[in-house]
Chains A and B, each alone.
Chain A
Amino acid sequence: MIIDMNPSTGECWIMTLDKLLQERLPKEFNTDGVVWTREILCQVACFLGNDYIKRIPGNGKTKVKNFVEAISDCGNDSEMYEHILENVMVPTSGSTDAKQTWLLNTNKTELLKLWKCVNAMFHHGPVFLVQSHDASIPVRDALFQDTYSIQLGSLCSEKIYSRSNDPCILGFDPFVDLVDKLDFAVFNLKVQQADGPTQKLKYSDTSLSSESSSTSNIISYRLQDDLNMQEYQVQEMYTRQHLNVPNFGEEGSSRVSSFNSKTSEFYVSSIDLEQDSENEWHLDVESASIPIKIFM
């Protein structure tokens, strides 16, 4: 990044992402021994509050060191989010009344969902992508040769959705989206069986696979029911109408809203993109049911 160049002398300030992560941030926050990554930076951006999520009272700059060290020690994302839920989402500044008010007005589970959603935005936000006409020619060269096109897609996705072919798709790869949701679901996925109690299913990330065609994406994974020693093979089909943005619904139903044991179908929520006019759309969450086949 080049900042503030003096037009006459050409002197400027340059900061690269590598230098920021390797030198600047460790020094700024005094975090010796912690390897800063883009992921940690995104978590710190949520910790300090940003355009999407407000700062939790008391979580200022001086507490970044402890936060970064704590999340670096977490073995996986679930542990990290558990730590955030238990230890970070606690107001530590202001009067006792103010803290109480914050706790009363804040649904911590909702706040955690928002936190994860913000992270998803940092990684998979909808963007327009410049593409070379010839895949063997780098984008940079294509720019100079005027042989490029622009398409709409996800920041992290290699899949590109053409705006002209399908105006409904606005970023986010369904596959990545599902990984995010299932990651969240590790400690929140509950399934209400038709005739039985609510139970928890464990998602097995090693079983995740996906197939994509021009019209749909099929995602497969396994769910384990430790209580009944059963394992379900789940196959989901997303068509392009099932817009793939992070969808964090009600607590306990963020992914699977119901399970019909007679028909062996899960029902999940989806998000649809609605077109307002020729060039403008808006996103609305709605509980459409998408049947998922279960192979037992």
Chain B
Amino acid sequence: MGVKDLSTSCIRDSPSAKNAKLSDVIKNSTCPVIIGFDISVVIIKLMKSNPTIISRYHCDPKVPLQELMDKVVGTIGSYFKHGMAKGVVVFDGLTNKLKKEKAHKECYQNNANDLRELEDLYNITEFDSKESEQRVMLRVGQLRSTLSPIRQDMIYDIKSSWKKYSKTKLYALGHHMRQIISLLLYTDMELLIMLSQ
């Protein structure tokens, strides 16, 4: 929903609080447990935890992000280790009219401004001092981490990495038409679509 005041404090005691063990939850479940992963959240979280991945993401030309993919499949794989029967990787993004007119408009406007700023910073060839160089590098890092949306090639990479990691079938759910087409064209992943906004 994108409601700031209905985030962590409402759902969780503290950002790192734990209240259950996954294996116990699965053991007590009356049916096989299927877990859906908001893969954008997983990817972005893992990306932001590692500046090297962000740097590789912004390489031109594009380079594969194997380290990130290993982390993604490792994260999903750990749920299987604790008893999950099926994993469903969810991609969202079928942007409805309302969202296009509101959140996306604001978001893309911000992105456009940030991209311009990043381009300007890239064009700086000389620095007045060591401090100013550090300031610019810090700002570049900040901007890069906010300008790292999920790329279509990542979807394919997740699938290939998963195939190497495990024989368990992983399902992909997608909202975004382009992502779905990309999945259909480039992968033999099972395609499911998720009920979420």
Task: Point out residues on A near B: beta carbons under 8 Å.
Answer: 1-15, 20, 24-25, 28, 41, 44-45, 48-54, 60-61, 64, 117-118, 121-122, 125-130, 140, 143-144, 146, 148, 150, 155, 245, 279-280, 282-283
Contact partner of B5 (CB less than 8 A), chosen from A53, A61, A150, is A61
Given A5-B82, A11-B20: A280 and B2 within 8 A (CB)? no
Q: A2-B25, A15-B11, A122-B1 are in contact. List 10 more A-B contacts (CB 8 A).
A: A10-B23, A12-B22, A28-B9, A64-B5, A121-B96, A121-B98, A127-B195, A128-B94, A130-B192, A140-B34
Q: Is the interface of B mostly helix, strand, loop or mixed?
A: mixed
Given contacts A3-B11, A130-B192, contact A50 B3 (CB under 8 A): yes
Instruction: For chain B, residues 8 to 63, give those with C-beta under 8 angstroms from any C-beta of chain A.
Output: 9-12, 16-23, 25, 31-32, 34-35
Q: If A52-B102, A122-B1 touch, does A148 touch B31 (CB 8 Å cutoff)?
A: no
Contacts of A146 in B (CB 8 A): 190
Taking A20-B11, A45-B1 as contacts, is the C-beta distance between A11 and B21 under 8 angstroms? yes
User: What is the distance, in angstroms, from B50's C-beta to the closest C-beta of chain A?
Assistant: 16
Cross-chain contact B10 with A24 (CB below 8 angstroms)? yes
A-B CB contact pairs (8 Å), 25 listed = A1-B11, A2-B35, A3-B12, A7-B75, A7-B81, A10-B82, A11-B18, A11-B22, A25-B10, A41-B6, A49-B3, A49-B4, A50-B3, A51-B99, A52-B98, A60-B5, A118-B98, A127-B197, A128-B193, A130-B195, A143-B34, A144-B86, A146-B190, A155-B197, A280-B177
Question: Is B191 positioned at the interface, with any CB of A under 8 Å from its CB?
Answer: yes
Tell me, in angstroms, the Cα distance from A129 to B18 when the chains sit together. 32
Partner of B195, one of A6, A128, A245: A128
With the chains together, A41 CA to B32 CA distance in Å? 30
Question: From B25, which residue of chain A is reached at the shortest CB distance?
Answer: A14
Nearest chain A CB to B142's CB is how many angstroms away? 23
Which residues from B are CB-within-8-Å of A130? Answer: 192-193, 195
Does residue B156 face the partner (Cβ distance < 8 Å to A)? no
Q: How far is the CA of A14 from the CA of B22 in the complex (A)?
A: 9
**Residues of chain A contacted by B86 (CB below 8 angstroms):** 143-144
Residues on B with C-beta less than 8 A from A279 are 177-178, 180-181
Give, as a whole number of angstroms, the nearest-CB distance from B60 to chain A.
27
Q: Judge whether A12 and B5 touch: CB under 8 Å.
A: no
**Interface residue range, chain B:** 35 or more
Within the complex, the shortest CB–CB distance from B48 to chain A, in Å, comes to 14
User: Is B129 an interface residue when CB atoms closer than 8 A count as contact?
Assistant: no
Q: Does B125 contact A (CB under 8 A)?
A: no
Task: Decide if B137 is an interface residue (CB 8 Å cutoff).
Answer: no
Partner of A129, one of B20, B74, B193: B193
With both beta carbons as reference points, the residue of chain B lying nearest to A60 in the complex is identified as B5
Could you say which of B9, B10, B21, B180 has the most chain A C-beta atoms within 10 Å of its C-beta?
Answer: B10
- Given that A2-B22, A49-B3, A150-B192 are contacting pairs, would A283 and B97 also be in contact in the complex, using a CB cutoff of 8 Å? yes
Instruction: Quote the shortest CB–CB distance from B185 to chain A (angstroms).
Output: 11
B6 engages A45 (CB within 8 Å): yes
Question: Cβ of A283: which chain B residues have Cβ within 8 Å of it?
Answer: 97
CB nearest to A14 among chain B residues = B20
Cα separation A5 to B192 with both chains bound (whole Å): 24
Q: In whole angstroms, how far apart are the Cα atoms of A7 and B70 in the complex?
A: 14
- Is residue B144 within 8 Å, beta carbon to beta carbon, of the partner chain? no
- Cα separation A48 to B32 with both chains bound (whole Å): 37
Collect the chain A residues with CB atoms within 8 Å of residue B197's CB: 121-122, 125, 127, 155
Q: What 1/0 mask marks residues of chain B from 159 to 176 whose CB sits below 8 Å from any chain A CB?
A: 000000000000100010
